[in-house]
Amino acid sequence: MNGAWLSRVARLLAAAACFWGSSVLADVPGLDAELDLRLVAADTDLTSFTDGGLGELRFDEDHDGLRLGRLLLAYQAHLLETLSAEVALSATGDNDKNPIDVTEAFLEWRPYPRSMWRTRARLGAFYPPVSLENRRVGWQSLYSISPSALNTWVGEEIRTLGAEVEVTAAGASKGRSFDVSAVASVFGWNDPMGVLIFERGWAIHDRQTALFGRLPDPLGAGTTRHGLELFHEIDNRAGYYVGGEFRYTDRVVLRALHYDNRGDPAAMNEYESAWLTRFDSVGARIELPAGFTVVSQWMTGDTSVGDSDDGRGFLIADYDAAFLLVSKTFGRQRLTVRYDTFETDTVRNEAIFDGSQDGEAWTLAYIFEPNEHWRLAAEALRNDTTLAPRALLGLAPQAVERTLQLAVVYHF
Amino acid sequence: MFRPRSICQNATRLQFRPQNVRRRLKIAGVVSIVWLTGASAAAATLEIEVTDREGHPVPDVAVTAVAPGTRPPAAAHPTAIMDQLDQQFVPEVLVVQTGTPVVFPNSDAVAHQVYSFSAAKRFALGLYRGHPYPPVTFDQPGVVVLGCNIHDQMVGYILVTDTPWFGTTDARGRLALHDVRPGEVRVSVWHPRFASDEADLERSLTLTDAAPTALTIHLTHAMRPPPPKGTGARVRDY
């Protein structure tokens, strides 16, 4: 029995105690609590990024056995008639800075519509409207344990810390079955975003980075390098996004977003650089007859860091990712298969640092919700990637990582 | 958050279940028609059937019969019910006579916020669970589109009509209007999801008190899809 094992058990017990302690609040309207325990079996030579390695899955072979998937406490309160507050607290049981931390916290204002135009405004820390998978409370995927590479990255590096306004032309009052929305946001405190995708590439897992959390630097193992904290303002320049959505009842949802954090790649704070990170994202979700759902998203963008004469950054990487997911429900059961393809390509000064990645992944997931309190999920994940920086650590750039996870989730 | 047991029990006790709502509406409709027209000795019956493009019955179609030259009798209207269940308005289409009070109970565990900006009735019922509000009286004829300010996908419709002869088709797409004044009547069928270019939805008929008059309306265009089912409080798009 070693210290790591003891501390893991202690964390699990602490999470369970916290969860059961909050169960006295089970009748509080607006409170969601969820305890997600995992049985994990990993097959990989790599160390997970959560332990400072260049593995792209959440769990490596050191994590085999019983793990805490997530403790989630989500609360929504109506402060005024049209103003609500939402907060989500998460614990993931790994070596994060805080044992429990905030993943979302925002105010939402929904004035009563006076015409076909519907307005919604959010202020605080929340997810930009990219994912068509992460629809369950606490921004979890509805279709699998681990979201696609594209949406995993959103959960890792992106949070809107700012204001967002969405205006919708609602069709119902005009005898139409579709709504069309436009969304725009101005945000800050997200300057380090881009560092993970540049150094470690795309990953696939369900671990969302908390607002005050810290990840090990993927290339900092054994050094004194400070970990990655992703939600800081470094260059005092606001970022923005603009996007649109088309929704035909619940059958078709189409989304597009242009995102630019307007980072100054030459700016730095004591520990970290600002990155200039931009992307375009499009996605579609289609509900078909017989319980079939198809979801597909595509994203392409670039990120850069460091001083350069043209101001574009000393190192620049292009990146893109796409996935296709097909899911079918059978009563209270759901079966999902997903194919992910993704790459990053260092395009400036790659002789000095090449972070390029090329990969594809298959995910097969089964979810059973026997009643309103329990959810059982099983997921097999195969991630086949080639990542150039592995060579810097004396590893083979190409690797296949596999995990098998069984999640037992209780919520109230 | 799942439905607290106390609210479930309340909902059961108050019988705000869709099947009960439908039964109550039917009883209320029949009672009001008998009461309104009881003084008249001569009474006609109109039997309507609505089928879609494929010949399948269309339920929840609003039917009104208007006899030109008659004024709606001044009457006390029984309260009608527009329920909210599984994040949907139940029924999707409710027809009431002008002046009818309507209650909007919430049979879900989650709170709703019902509003309308339609010209025939503008109102808002602030955030609520259960049934805290007094009825809303619909005092102008027209179509009232209902929404929920929390659940954008929720859409319901109230057709407010002056005529005392109205109803909605049942699961077999049928409706019988009894005790209609014999003579010339104009019969209209309406559903919010009829195609916009659906024509021939209004007919003029001469009713007699000798035998029921049958009217069948075949739609020639596909209807728009129904509003989406509620995803539950735990699922939404971010």
Q: A interface toward B at CB cutoff 8 Å?
A: 27-32, 78, 81-82, 110, 112-115, 118, 126-127, 129, 131-132, 134-137, 139, 142, 168, 170, 172-173, 175, 177, 179, 249-251, 253, 372-373, 411-412
Contact between A284 and A252 under an 8 Å Cβ cutoff? The reply is yes
Nearest to B238 among A30, A115, A127 (CB): A127
pLDDT at A25 over 80: no
Contact between B150 and B129 under an 8 Å Cβ cutoff? The reply is no
Nearest to A135 among B227, B229, B235 (CB): B235
Work out the average pLDDT over A266-270: 91
pLDDT at B17 over 60: no
Nearest to B124 among A112, A137, A179 (CB): A112
Contacts of B9 in chain A (CB under 8 A): none
Mean pLDDT (chain B) is 83
Cβ atoms within 10 Å, residue A79: 11
Contacts of B225 in chain A (CB under 8 A): 177, 249, 251
pLDDT, one tens digit per residue, over A339-386 is 999 999 999 999 999 999 999 999 999 999 999 899 999 999 999 999
Q: What is the domain-level CATH number for residue A12?
A: 2.40.160.10
Decide if B192 touches A, using CB distance below 8 A: yes
Work out the average pLDDT over A17-34: 78
Closest-CA distance, A249 to chain B, in angstroms, reads 6
pLDDT at B6 over 60: no
Least confident of A371-375, B32-36, B231-235: B32-36
H or E segment to which residue B28 belongs: helix B18-37
A353, two tokens: 């640092």
pLDDT at B16 over 80: no
Contacts of B153 in chain A (CB under 8 A): 249-250
Contact between B79 and B105 under an 8 Å Cβ cutoff? The reply is no
Q: What is the ipTM of this complex?
A: 0.85
Query: Where is pLDDT greater, at A85 or A13?
Result: A85
Q: How confident is the model at residue A94 (pLDDT cuts 50, 70, 90)?
A: confident
Boundaries of domain holding A118 = 3-411
Give pTM, 2 decimals.
Answer: 0.88
Cα separation, A316 vs A288, whole angstroms: 41
Q: In a mutagenesis test of the B interface, which of A117, A177, A281 is the best target, namely the one with the most B β-carbons within 10 Å?
A: A177
A327, two tokens: 């899911």
Contact residues for A235 (Cβ-Cβ < 8 A; gap 6+): A191, A263, A264, A267, A274
Q: In a mutagenesis test of the A interface, which of B128, B133, B237 is the best target, namely the one with the most A β-carbons within 10 Å?
A: B237
Decide if B145 touches A, using CB distance below 8 A: yes
pLDDT, one tens digit per residue, over A183-203 is 999 999 999 999 999 999 999
pLDDT at B107 over 60: yes
Cα separation, A305 vs A191, whole angstroms: 10
Decide if B226 touches A, using CB distance below 8 A: yes
Confidence (pLDDT) at B12: 34
Nearest to B118 among A139, A173, A179 (CB): A173
A91, two tokens: 């614990």
Contact between A344 and A202 under an 8 Å Cβ cutoff? The reply is yes
CB contact under 8 A, A250 and B229: yes
CB contact under 8 A, B152 and A168: yes
Cα separation, A65 vs A313, whole angstroms: 43
pLDDT, one tens digit per residue, over B48-63 is 999 999 999 999 999 9
* Number of structural domains found in chain A: 1
Nearest to B117 among A32, A115, A129 (CB): A115
CB contact under 8 A, A373 and B225: no
Closest by Cα among B82, B107, B84, B83 to B96 = B82
Residue with tokens 């049979």: B107
Which residues does residue A283 pair with via DSSP β-bridges, in sequence order? A255, A297
